[in-house]
Structure 1
């Protein structure tokens, strides 16, 4: 049985793949330069998701407006692990913070935010365990873009293929095209910061 909190991801010894969804203009620049650039905004928080299926839930398989292009972003694991260890949850969970005042002070100073949402099945069903979403504040976005990104791949054709198969009732075939995800190893400091605790 899966732990209630798990990070499932595609990763190597050096990198972890996370997903984001953008409009055509932002995606084209990102793919061309292997970095984000205008019209991408460096003045607002950006959210990354290691779970491909949660990205599909969030973007409705790339059908939502301004989320038509699904990008796979390979990040240096050293940067991702640092983000985890410096994260603050978006809610004052009592098993993590002594009281709401402690959380509020940390939240107001944070540059990295984490929330846990129900993981999704291939057909969009809520599963019994959680999936991580990580928000990177504008104070760290330049570092994220300039130092942490190893590669950016456009998965939009794959997403469309899988969605077409699902619509036509070919779930097993669609599943065969999905990225292979494994449980991502997390340090004790990161587990504490992100509230990863079995319940």
Structure 2
């Protein structure tokens, strides 16, 4: 739960609901994809494994993206529990979605990494309970090619439909019951990803998890 974290939060830090073996990420889909996925605990054949898919460990950033499950083709919000081994491997392979002179030797090196990596990292402003931007960032991982296929068919442990939770929290907020809404948020804490939380706070995007 982002708002319950200490004030001194690194600008780039992975925060997530996780266990010793799994980490939960969020996605939103149209019902014809999301409902079968939640029912069967796996992505259906209609889920296009060759396309890039973006996974988000932040529930509130997902709410910002899907408008509390109200945007077209994002009416079904899924909590996808995946293996930490898969998630950690994806982070190690990741390349920033944009050029950063502090991370890449030059623009050509970034372009080369972009061409060869099946995983993209993007940091977007984290959101508070009212979906306002916060001064620190939330991770998105874009998975393509082998990473996308592995996510759908190897890493996924369970898939839950959390659309009712999203709508309940939103209803409470609109009724002015922010404390009750906040109490329902999934608990997200710093993810133990080695060097991701030491030294340069963006070291994780350079594939230096340790």
TM-score normalised by the chain length of structure 1 = 0.94
1:65 aligned partner: 72
2:110 aligned partner: 103
Which of these residues, 160, 173, 181, is aligned with residue 174 of structure 1? Answer: 181
2:57 aligned partner: 50
Contact 1:10/1:180 (8 A) holds in 2: yes
2:136 aligned partner: 129
Indicate whether 1:194 and 2:205 are aligned: yes
**What is the CA deviation profile of residues 99-124 of structure 1, one whole-angstrom value per residue up to 9, with x for unaligned ones?**
11110111011100000000000011
1:148 aligned partner: 155
2:94 aligned partner: 87
Residue 6 of structure 1 aligns to a residue whose secondary structure is: coil
1:189 Cα shift?
7.7
- Shift in alpha-carbon separation, 1:195–1:110, aligned structure 2, 3 A: closer
Contact 2:123/2:138 (8 A) holds in 1: yes
Instruction: Answer with 161-170 or 182-191: which moved more.
Output: 182-191
1:26 aligned partner: 33
Which of these residues, 158, 164, 175, is aligned with residue 165 of structure 2? Answer: 158
Q: Any unmatched runs of 5+ in structure 2?
A: 1-7
Instruction: Answer with 31-40 or 68-77: which moved more.
Output: 31-40
1:120 aligned partner: 127
Contact 1:23/1:66 (8 A) holds in 2: yes
Contact 1:74/1:149 (8 A) holds in 2: yes
**Counterparts of 1:46 and 1:3 in 2: how far apart (Å)?**
26
RMSD: 1.6
**Counterparts of 1:36 and 1:125 in 2: how far apart (Å)?**
31
Contact 2:92/2:206 (8 A) holds in 1: no
TM-score normalised by the chain length of structure 2 = 0.89
May I ask how many residue pairs the two structures share in their alignment?
Answer: 196
